Structure 1
Amino acid sequence: MRTPTRPARRVLAATVIAVGVTALSGCVESNRPAEDSAAGTECPFEADESVTSTVRIAYQNIPNGDLIVKDQRMLENCLPNANITWNKFDSGGDVIQAFGSNSADLGLIGSSPATKALSAPLNIPMKVIWIHDVIGKAESLVVRDESINDIKQLAGKTVAVAFSSTAHYSLLQALQDAGMDPAKDVSLVNLSPDKMPSAWEGGQIDAAWVWDPTLSELLKSGGHIVLSSEDTAKAGKPTYDLGAATTAFIDANPGFMTAWAKAQNAAVEQIHNQPDEAAVSIGAVMGISPDDVKSQFDGYEYLTAAEQAGPDYLGGKMAKDLQDTAGFLLAQGGITAVSPPQVYEGGVDAKPAEAAAQ
């Protein structure tokens, strides 16, 4: 979704209410048979009955620890007196709109949407609190024409991407690095991943920068990969799937935030040490096989709480990465102004990761 201009900001709340209704109606539950349900999984750390938070979590179908936490009901088992609702969203742009309209408290967003949220004209009071994954080959530019093997050959073609997503940021970066003008040399179409396969089959798009499971679906339909987010990261523009929450929720619910980070860290450790079990849970939520999930793990890097709390990530460099992303987005017209450095520094909170690492 395009970043709203200042006049459009007045209707942001109404737009988000509609998005929120769509997300609520589109919730995806585990497709695991009832007898194999993970609902009875024990809390991986000491449960805390004192936490009574009410939280609305925005999740996306991306193969990382967040889906393990959801499927195995870690939060529900660890915080039995909390009121927890999971709502599915299709992109980080939708999630930050939900933050802006107070229809979500905590959720998964990419580093590009996070930057937009902390920049003008949105200026949403929220903080990055977790790194669900560092994006690599999992987000890629898939092309229909087998003769095209360089992004420059997409001149005059129609390319689909979810606007305001990390994929959108990587695509714009790749076009710029190739000396192309995204506004003139290609036709960019804003499509959510679930809409891309039908547009692909109908010949309405020539390429798409997207993530799994849509990426795999387009590859099976005759596409091939030309570039990936791993390539743009090597060019100095890394992208992440992040956990973020509104500042008001963080301040009012410190106990929940600590337990949430501990659950996320337990899920990361499960991916590292018990990938088969992790793949079953992720596949149950996404509706794909565990084998398909495991094949996607290589496209991401999953960091433990201790790694995240360090100076290379939440404990230091993340704020600079967001500020650098803002500079690029400003040049592309994605935001109207880069916020002062202290805004991005204040927009990153390493305390939940630090608590989970203890």
Structure 2
Amino acid sequence: MNISRSIHLVLALASAALAGTMPGIAGAETIRIAIGTQDTTINCATGGLLIRELRLLDKYLPRTGKYKDITYDVQWKNFTSGPPLTNEMVADKLDIGAMADFPGSLNAAAFQKAGKKSVFIAPLSGNAIGTGNGIVVPADSPIQSLAELKGKTISVPFGSTAHGMLLRAIKRQGWDPDKDVTLVSQSPEVGGSALQAHKVDGHANFVPFPELFTFRGFARKIYDGSQAEAPTFHGALVNAAYAQKYPEIVVAYLRAAIEADRLMAAEPEKYSELIAKVTGIDAEVDYLFHGPLGLQNRDYTWKPEYRQALQTSIETLKLLKRTDADLNADSVIDDRYIREAFRLEGLDYDARLKSYDKQPLTAKDAAAGKRIGEPKLAAQLWLQGEPKVRAYAAPEAAFVALRQAGKDGKKARVLYVHDRNTGLKLLADKVWYVQDGKGRVSAFLLKDSADSWAKSHGGNVRDFAAVTGSGAVAVASH
């Protein structure tokens, strides 16, 4: 039986079962749809904030057949992390929730302990190599790498996906997490304050806080989650009993998420500004994730790496003795609903499953007017007063435009470049460069990477002020 027929059978059986146990459901007054979001975890935006703010769910909720005379009670509740959201899901106060792989594992374990079941129905955004989580240090810290944090104090929100990343990173260093570092639990807000007050030596966190703290000028990123080679994602979970009872509603929610993705892809500046308005997370940081070649992919298909991320999270929980639940990734993931949502939207799920492409940078070079060919050499400049981000084929061209903007009395909101090795999108004024004898530059997140490139390819390692020409050239202060 093919996938399409299979999901139709599931929906039909669920409808028949519901009709048999609740005669006259069409006359029932209300069905609750209670959704828990994490607005400030901005890579969840297309599965929460945008659906809510643009009232997209209303467009897809079923209103025929057994739902003909239904009134929907759509409830939204925002959380800053996954664990409290899980508490309310287990208590039947929420039906759907968005969270990352690590807290999602805790969610599944908590449901099982309560004699219930939750399932991940779709990823929302993630990265197959782990970008999204990161470690930062105070901006004026001399520390340039994770290795230099041995014997130091690192804070992280315990139970978060960043916590899982940090533990894996520590393991890769060969350290004992109980002896070689001091780990303390701090929320993003507390961690940010602790960095500014130099009360911690480093802070690990999830989207968007490593980049947000760096953008705001009081922190510097020294470790990207991709260095731990640990895939990560945020996704949507649902109470399995609710999904079985109302499969059409779950599919409607996912169709709304797909539309939110389409809107974001078409106008990333506009919707980055909306996210900023709702969350207080700067639009420049929102665009860093959601714009072309962003740090994470909005990807609703269950790639093997996401399944592995969930499995690794479950195993990490068991290693930490946080759970003894009998779980595995395949028992927690149910892809039938997202496959049906894709079918109804005329999309090819299996083709997207095979694709790892980021949202492309389709703009032409703002100076030369030519197509931008190599993403790792591209740059993007967002000037104050301009609604659209300018694209350039190389950082040097963006630097020229930045200098000209300064002469014209304009300031830059943000300038993005890409790591020459990894392709990671970077905040240009917070990273390292190698400049060759012809003035061409390559950008790098880490100083060690810049040093290695200069050694093997030639050139001089420089900071942003040096490669842009003078101290008068700067990105607007934050």
| 1:331-346 superposed matches below 5 A | 331=319, 333-337=320-324, 339=326, 341=328, 344-346=329-331
Classify the secondary structure of the residue corresponding to 2:87.
helix
Q: Which has the higher contact order (CA 8 A, sep 6+)?
A: 1
Distance in 2 separating the partners of 1:334 and 1:85: 35
Distance in 1 separating the partners of 2:109 and 2:83: 13
Structure 1 unaligned spans of 5+: 1-49
Structure 1 or 2, whichever has the larger Rg, is: 2
| 1:98-113 superposed matches below 5 A | 98-113=88-103
**Equivalent of 2:220 in 221, 224, 229:** 224
Classify the secondary structure of the residue corresponding to 1:266.
helix
Matched to 1:286, the amino acid is T
Alpha-carbon distance, 1:174 to partner: 0.4
Q: 1:246 to 1:137 in 2, by over 3 A?
A: same
Q: 1:334 to 1:275 in 2, by over 3 A?
A: farther
Query: Residue in 2 aligned with 1:75?
Result: 57
| 1:284-323 superposed matches below 5 A | 284-297=277-290, 298-303=294-299, 305=300, 308=301, 312-313=303-304, 318-323=306-311
Distance in 2 separating the partners of 1:188 and 1:163: 9
TM (norm. structure 2) is 0.57
> How many residues of Structure 1 are paired with residues of Structure 2 in the alignment?
295
Distance in 1 separating the partners of 2:321 and 2:107: 11
Structure 2 unaligned spans of 5+: 1-27, 64-70, 344-478
Matched to 1:56, the amino acid is A
User: Is 1:262 aligned to residue 255 of structure 2?
Assistant: yes
RMSD: 2.5
**Equivalent of 1:238 in 231, 235, 238:** 231
Does structure 2 retain, via aligned residues, the 8 Å contact 1:76–1:82? no
TM (norm. structure 1) is 0.75
Q: Structure 1 vs Structure 2: percent identity of aligned residues?
A: 22
> Bigger CA drift: 272-281 or 187-196?
272-281
Does structure 2 retain, via aligned residues, the 8 Å contact 1:143–1:206? yes
Q: 1:260 to 1:166 in 2, by over 3 A?
A: same
Alpha-carbon distance, 1:51 to partner: 10
Query: Residue in 2 aligned with 1:140?
Result: 134
Classify the secondary structure of the residue corresponding to 1:268.
helix
Does structure 2 retain, via aligned residues, the 8 Å contact 1:127–1:244? yes
> Bigger CA drift: 262-271 or 204-213?
204-213
> Bigger CA drift: 212-221 or 68-77?
212-221
Query: Residue in 2 aligned with 1:46?
Result: none
Does structure 2 retain, via aligned residues, the 8 Å contact 1:128–1:348? yes
User: Is 1:169 aligned to residue 173 of structure 2?
Assistant: no
Alpha-carbon distance, 1:170 to partner: 0.5
Distance in 1 separating the partners of 2:75 and 2:331: 27
Distance in 1 separating the partners of 2:254 and 2:153: 40
Alpha-carbon distance, 1:241 to partner: 0.5
Does structure 2 retain, via aligned residues, the 8 Å contact 1:159–1:188? yes
Alpha-carbon distance, 1:246 to partner: 1.1
